Each structure stands twice: as C-alpha cells, then as structure tokens.
Structure 1
Amino acid sequence: MGVVLLLIGIVPAHNCVRECGFQSAAQVQGSWEVVGCTQAHDTRRHGRILSAVDLPLGGNGHPSEAGLYFAKIGIGTPSKDYYVQVDTGSDILWVNCAGCDRCPTKSDLGVDLTLYDMKASTTSDAVGCDDNFCSLYDGPLPGCKPGLQCLYSVLYGDGSSTTGYFVQDFVQYNRISGNFQTTPTNGTVVFGCGNKQSGELGSSSEALDGILGFGQANSSMLSQLASSGKVKKVFSHCLDNVDGGGIFAIGEVVEPKVNITRWYKITALFIENVSIYVEKSSKFAGMRICLILFLSAQIWMENASTAHYNVVMKEIEVGGDPLDVPSDAFESGDRKGTIIDSGTTLAYFPQEVYVPLIEKILSQQPDLRLHTVEQAFTCFDYTGNVDDGFPTVTLHFDKSISLTVYPHEYLFQVKEFEWCIGWQNSGAQTKDGKDLTLLGDA
C-alpha cells in the first residue's frame, strides 16, 4: 500500500479572501465587511457540510465571497484535470458533467472549469441501479431494472443541490514513495456525474468542478481506494493558514517526530512539515489544529456511525488554570465530541463553556470597555502587545494531547487598536440554539 498525495490550493476570490479566508485570527484585519465575510463563509459551509447535525451557524455578517480549499485530480483516459473542493463532511466525489443544466462555466476563483464527459474517456463505465455501489449509497431502489442508471441527489442545508448519476472511471493521483518522491498512479472510483445544479452550486462565485467528499461512509473515494487495497483508510489534512494551500494525504502511516506528549500514527508525508512549523513558530494555529485532525481521523475512522470527524476534548486551561465547567460540557448530546471541520473558519463552543472562557480571558484586563459588533463578536480597544496582556488557552484532548492557542491567534485586529475575540458561542449562533464544540481552520 502507498500514500496518496493531494496538494491543496487556495486562491483569492476578491478582497475578502485575501483578508479573512483561511488565515489566522491575527491576520484578519480590515473592515467589518471582512469580518462579516468570515461569518458568511461559515454559514454557507455549515449549511452544506453540517446539515446532518442541523447546524447552519450564523450571525448577521455581510454576505461576501470567501476562501476555500481545493485539490486538483485527474479523471478519465486520457486524464483531464478537475478542481474539486476538499470536504471532510460529505461522502461522495462528484463533478459537473457534459450537458449539465445550470452548471457554472466560469469561476471567480481563477481556475479553468472542465465538464466531465464519460463518452470521451475510454475507461468510463455506467453504474446501474442494480450495482452493489448503488445499494451501498442509498439502499435498494424500488423499480430497479437492468439498464437503468444509479441516480444520486444531494440537498444541502443552504438550499443548493446537485443531482445526477453515478459513473465509474480512473481517478489519477500521486503516490508517495518512502523518500517522499511522487509517482502518478490511478484507481477505479465510482463518482457522481452532476447534470443539474441549483443555488450556490450553479453560481460562478467560488465555483469549482465539484466536491471531493472524505467522509466516513463507504461511498467516499477514500473508502473505495481502501477497499480495493490501494491505500489504508487513514488520511492527514494540513491547511496552511499563512500563504494558503496545504496538503491532503491518505494511506501509509508512521510515528511522527513532533513535540507532543503522546501521539497516534499519522501520515508519513507530514512529518517534516509539521515538525518545522510547530517547533519553529507558534503562529501556525491552523497547522496545530490539523494535528488534532490527524488524531480524529485515526480514532474515529473506525466508527463509521459518526457523521463527522470528532475528537474528545477533556478540559480547557486559561493561563494554566482549569476552566470550571461541567465534565460533560463538550459532549453535545448525540453529537458527542469536538467536531473538526476544515470548511469552518472560526471556533465555536457551547454557551456553558464560552461564557466562562471569555470571562476568564478578559479578567486579566478588568478595565477594558467591551462592545459587541455584528451581534456576535466581543471587541475592545487595546494598545499594548496582546501576547503580553492576555493569557494563553490550552485545549486538552483524550490520549494526553494538548493544543496551546496564543492571544494573537484567538484575537483578531480590525483597526489599529481595536481587537475582537474570534471564538463564538455556538448556542447563540445555531438556528435551534443547540450547543456544540467545533474547531475550524483559523
């Protein structure tokens, strides 16, 4: 078995992406339109990715375009390149197909869009409704007859949808050898051929060729490659929040050499990157978040009944002092654990955690005059160095793993002396008022 490498790209979509798309909180500077775009981005992404747990996170941010992470993969013979959004919260790969109704023909992201045409690929094959994959995806179909297509339809929480049919073809990717060299290879994958899109999926704003779902269901590309013996069912996802981009790898795992108390195995590809970024700089919040994502993939991949990748948060310390919250505060009912979502920018905590957490953080500066902006962000004026004036926050997880977040990472600056707390109250943001703990990529 080998390791599959996907290089993750990020491109600017207007000024909003450059200012707030997938960067650390301290880098989100500028107007409140920029801050609003962060919330709008989270709202759209949670409407899609977290619809299964009924969590369109909100606020009253100004709607605007925002950044997203994507990978380039090759499909078909001869292979053609397709840009697909990397999504750890959905379970199928789908791309727009020839003859599609309302599929975007151009993208504001600066990438060339390509419609997949199975007739132009010598290795393509239709997937019938009597195929095992069809039953695997949506259960036995009543009225199925030989020759009928296996159809799919996905309705996202933001009202957008994609419909089409499943096809089978070669997916091209890079395989990593022991010395980190890559060689092209391919595997047969069943994926959706989208012939009708609606809502945001039909817009040129943030348009890509499709979505690459890395969820835990057997219909995902990861599960298919693993079941065919191509890779192991483990992935590593690291999003670079400094220059944009990152790496997504699936397959072989080894013990990493990083300065962490105890570790589960993660993908070999990230050893050097993680070691460099974690040990030499404390500002790569997204890189350290991705370490926890590795752990979530390793632990929860074995439990396919969970809808998303979760980790078990045990405790929060503020300035070295444990936060006084109930022991089950991080268990969100039937959604136990802390959700890791690469499509969310901010971090969200239950109200019973958020309120004492913010009070504890601000207690070191009792003279601050607080104000609320966008009905969500707690802000204040401060002229000093925030790393000197505010405490570090340490998140403790199961298996003795901890993540320290510095003030310049959980605070963001919108004006010369105006700072805001980037963390959010999930109970106040969700439509149904339900609490949950979720860590985004900022």
Structure 2
Amino acid sequence: MAARMALIAGLLLLLRLVPPSSSSSDVVLELQGNVYPTGHFFITMNIGDPAKPYYLDIDTGSILTWLQCDAPCQHCNKVPHPLYKPTKSKLVKCKEQRCADLQSDVGKPKRCGPQSQCDYAIHYVDGSSVGVLIVDRFSLRGNGTNPTDIAFGCGYDQGEENYNVATPVDGMVGLGRGRVTLLTQLKSQGVISKHVVGHCLSSKGGGFLFFGDAMVPTSGITWFPMNRGHKHYSPGAGTLHLDSNSQPINTAPMEVIFDSGATYTYFAPQPYQATLSVVKSTLSSECKFLNEVTDKDRALNVCWQGKDKIRSVDEVKKCFRSLSLIFSHGDNKAILEIPPEHYLIISQEGHVCLGILDGSKEHPSLGKRNLIGGITMLDKMVIYDNERALLGWVDYPCDRMPSSESMITSRL
C-alpha cells in the first residue's frame, strides 16, 4: 500500500509539472550560427518600415532586445548590415509606462532628463550597451501575419572595450524574464497566447527558436521548477557528477543559470577546478595518443592534440566521460546529462578543447556564478515556461525545422 501511495504521489507531482497542451500558435524562427568558430546563434529579424534584415543574437540571460544604431553611434562594432537609423517620432518618452518597465527590469530608477527620452544603460559580463528605447515594426513573416510594433533598444554606445570589433550579429534579442522582453510584448499583443520560449541549438550548426507553447512536446521532457527568487532562468542549485551515478565532483551544490547568450559553459573556480581535475584523471587508457597542448587556442585554455589533426569530437569522445548536473526540489529530481560532445570543441588547429571555462578568469564580473551556455544545450530542446515557472529539456534533432499548421514559421 505504501509503495502504491508513493507511486500515485509521484504521478500527481509529474502531472503538476507537465504543462497541458494548447491550441495557441507558435512563432518559429530559424537559427544560424554555431558554438565554434562563430560563437553565436542568431535569428534574422526584419525591422522597420520598409523592413530591413538584421541578425540578432538569442540571449536568455538578457532582457532587452536592441540593435546597434546610428544615433549617431559613438562606439560600435563592425556589424553585417548597415546601422539602424532611428527617427524622433519612434522615440519612447520617459514618462511612458514602457520606460518605467524598462527601468524596473534593469534595476535603475527612472529619471527624466531635459530631452524626455527613455535612456538605458545595460552591463553584461563581456561589455555594455547604452542607448534609448524606441518603437518600430517587427515583421514575423509566414501565414500572412502583419508586422507588430515592438519597443526595443537603439544602442549607440557599446563601450570602448568592444569598439570597432567585428561581430556576426547586429544586436541582441533579449529572452530573459522582464516586462519589456520581446516575448512579453508578443503575448500582450495577442501574437502568442502563452509566455513560453524555447530553443533548439544543433551541433551541426543552426537550429530553431520558438515563442508560445504549440511546439512543446507532450511527453519525454524533463521538467523542473525555476528558482522564483532568481531574476534569470535558474533551476537553483545542483550537484555535478561524473556520469549520473557517481559521487558529486564538487562538494557543495552549485547554483546555475541557463544562458543561451553564453557560447561556452562557465563554472566558478571551485567546481571548475574539480571538473578539470576529474576530466584529466579519467581520460581513457586507450587514448594515450592525446597530449595536453601548452599554448592556448583563443579563449580555449585546456586542449589536447593527437598524432594527426582531429576533425570531429566523434574521433575522441570515447576518451572522455559524461558529466551530469542533478537538481533536487522536494521529492522532485531532474538530471541534465552532459556527454563529451556537449562540453568539448574541436578547434581550428585540430585540437580537442574543454568548452567549460573558469568564469572568474574569463569574465571577472561573473564572480562565483555558473552559466550553462550554448555548448551544453546542443541537440536539446530547452523550454522556459514562464506561465508555470518551469524549465524543461529533452534530446531533440535540432537540425530539423519543425512544421505545423498552428505555427507561424519564418525562414528569412
């Protein structure tokens, strides 16, 4: 009887964590890019009237969608398209509610200056963006959908540290948790009915991004509650393991953030050193042909070389063990499997490199935060259900664009 009651309780918990299916439409956008060497996954968005194409990096760790713009631009990167040119008629006024929402999202008090425009300044772990909030048309092509007016950032200063640097994107689409995110605006305008976003990053390059819940599979997903007290997408603290049945690699649980805008996965110093130690010590005895490289491959600090140039992770993944993050919340438990192909990179020099980095050294502002980046999300559909405060993930063939009559699909 006790076993039966436990089984029923477990089923009830599972039902509570699985969001019901919905008849709402999804907006599905094709992704370009890769983890290496591009370092970005991005969508093409047509913005303005007449519409012009721009590449936007997808970032679940950021709130505001913004474009580099000619306002004029003080410190801008070298981007693929001509800079967006704003007009005064499109400026959001400082006294508008959208400006107050933006200031609330970025944690800054609203102060209206003499120009009465809505200014913002956002700082990232690898840079910053200063600009003004504007409104213009976003065209979500497919099924005859009309363009929709979206508030976004006109970024005219990206900081001196990024000045004149070539980048494959024109700006960023902020997919985080906030009041002025693209997702929030699409829901408020009825384009989607559920506050849900998901992405599928392919190890072959590309993939897809979706808004709404029509794409969410009805089974097979690992669901776990979001940490409600965290402003980012976080399942809270988890323990890091070699495989999923071993003792934890790190002694203390580590709180992690799911951040699609991070190319690599970044650990705080203690879990990073523990991970590096166990990866090195458990290299298969069959792989003595791998020797650690003493010189660095760009940002990749730990690499191994073989007798010949390594062309694919498939050639060496047998040499490495899988990692896993295990999360627990009450009676609920979830495992995020991290096989070698989701933490290793083949560099342009033909070396196999560790794609888990020490965040405190690469980006000192990260401090002790742990980011699950794009490399660890490869070949998984990752779902951020803001309606029910749930994170979900499931293995998925991300190189295949989904097709459904209920979706607004764009292949711009």
TM-score, normalisation: structure 1: 0.62
Q: Which amino acid aligns with 2:294?
A: V
Q: Is residue 2:72 matched to residue 1:112?
A: no
Aligned with residue 407 of structure 1, among 335, 340, 343: 340
The amino acid of 2:222's aligned partner reads W
Q: Does 1:168 align with 2:135?
A: yes
Structure 1 regions of 5+ residues with no counterpart?
Answer: 11-20, 24-37, 39-65, 176-181, 265-294, 331-336
Q: Does 1:135 align with 2:148?
A: no
Q: Which residue of 2 aligns with 1:22?
A: 35
* In structure 1, distance between residues paired with 2:112 and 2:90: 22
Structure 1 residues 252 and 116 mapped into 2: Cα distance closer, same or farther (>3 Å)? farther
Whole-Å separation in 2 of the counterparts to 1:214 and 1:252: 15
Which is worse superposed, 75-84 or 356-365? 356-365
Letter in 2 for 1:137: L
Query: What is the match of residue 373 of structure 1?
Result: 294
Q: Distance in 2 between matches of 1:102 and 1:79?
A: 25
1:395 aligned onto 2:311? no
Q: Whole-Å Cα distance in 2 between the matches of residues 321 and 341 of structure 1?
A: 26
1:81–1:114 CA contact under 8 A, matched in 2: no
Cα deviation digits, residues 406-435 of structure 1 (max 9, x gap): 335434456999644433344555537943
Deviation at 1:142, TM superposition (A): 4.3
Matched with 1:314 is 238
Query: Residues 348, 82 of structure 1: CA spacing in aligned structure 2 closer, same or farther, 3 A cutoff?
Result: closer
CA 168–351 in structure 1, closer or farther in 2 if over 3 Å, else same: closer
What's the offset of the Cα at 1:133?
A: 1.3
- Relative to structure 2, which stretch is displaced further, 212-221 or 362-371? 362-371
How much has 1:235 moved relative to structure 2? 0.2
Q: Tell me which amino acid in the other structure corresponds to 1:84.
A: L
Equivalent position amino acid for 1:172 in 2: S
Shift of 1:246: 1.8
- Structure 1 residues 309 and 207, CA, compared in 2 at 3 Å: closer, same or farther? same
How has the CA–CA distance of structure 1 residues 186 and 421 changed in structure 2, closer, same or farther, with 3 Å as cutoff?
same
Residue 329 in structure 1 maps to residue 288 in structure 2 = no
Correspondences of 1:18-417 after superposition (within 5 Å): 22-23=35-36, 66-102=38-74, 107=79, 111-118=80-87, 125-138=90-103, 141-142=110-111, 148-158=116-126, 160-163=128-131, 165-174=132-141, 182-199=143-160, 202-203=163-164, 205-206=166-167, 208-231=169-192, 232-242=194-204, 244-253=205-214, 256=217, 260=220, 263-264=222-223, 299-300=225-226, 303=228, 306-312=230-236, 314-319=238-243, 321-325=245-249, 328-330=252-254, 337-361=255-279, 362-363=281-282, 365=284, 371=292, 373-374=294-295, 376-377=301-302, 379=304, 386-398=316-328, 399-412=332-345
- C-alpha distance in 2 between matches for 1:428 and 1:125: 41
Give the counterpart letter for 1:403 in structure 2. Answer: L
- Residue 422 of structure 1 corresponds to 355
What count of residue pairs does the alignment treat as equivalent? 332
Q: Could you tell me how far 1:148 is from its partner in structure 2?
A: 2.5
Structure 2 residues not aligned, in runs of 5+: 1-23, 309-313, 376-412
Q: Structure 1, residues 103-134: CA drift from partner, whole Å, max 9, x if none?
A: 76963xxx433523447xxxx64321111111
Q: Percent identity?
A: 24
Q: Secondary structure at the match of 1:310?
A: coil
What CA distance in whole angstroms lies between the structure 1 residues aligned with 2:271 and 2:77?
Answer: 45
Q: Residues of 1 paired with 2:117 and 2:350: CA distance?
A: 60
Bigger share in helix: 1
**In structure 2, C-alpha distance between the alignment counterparts of 1:415 and 1:126, rounded to whole Å:** 44
Aligned to 2:28: 5
TM-score, length-normalised on structure 2? 0.66
Structure 1's 184 and 395: CA in aligned 2 closer, same or farther, altered over 3 A? same
1 CA distance for matches of 2:53 and 2:351? 44
Instruction: In structure 2, give the amino acid aligned to 1:402.
Output: I
* Distance in structure 2 (CA, Å) of the matches to 1:425 and 1:413: 19
SS state of the match for residue 135, structure 1? helix
Residue 9 of structure 2: aligned partner: none
Contact 1:329 1:352 in 2 (8 A): no
TM-superposed CA distance for 1:143, in Å, is: 5.2
After superposition, the Cα gap between the structure-2 partners of 1:225 and 1:257, relative to the gap in structure 1 and judged at 3 Å, is: closer
| 8 Å CA contact retained: 1:88, 1:214 | yes
Higher relative contact order (CA 8 A, sep 6+): 2
Q: Deviations over 1:24-70 (max 9, x none)?
A: xxxxxxxxxxxxxx7xxxxxxxxxxxxxxxxxxxxxxxxxxx43222
Q: Which amino acid aligns with 2:102?
A: Y
Checking the alignment, whether the CA contact within 8 Å between 2:139 and 2:148 is kept in structure 1 is: yes
Q: CA 1:326–1:256 in structure 2 vs 1: closer, same or farther (change >3 Å)?
A: same
After superposition, the C-alpha distances for 1:242-274 in whole angstroms (9 at most, x for unaligned) are 1x222111112465166x4x534xxxxxxxxxx
CA shift in 2, pair 1:240/1:192, >3 Å: same
CA distance in 1, matches of 2:57, 2:111: 32
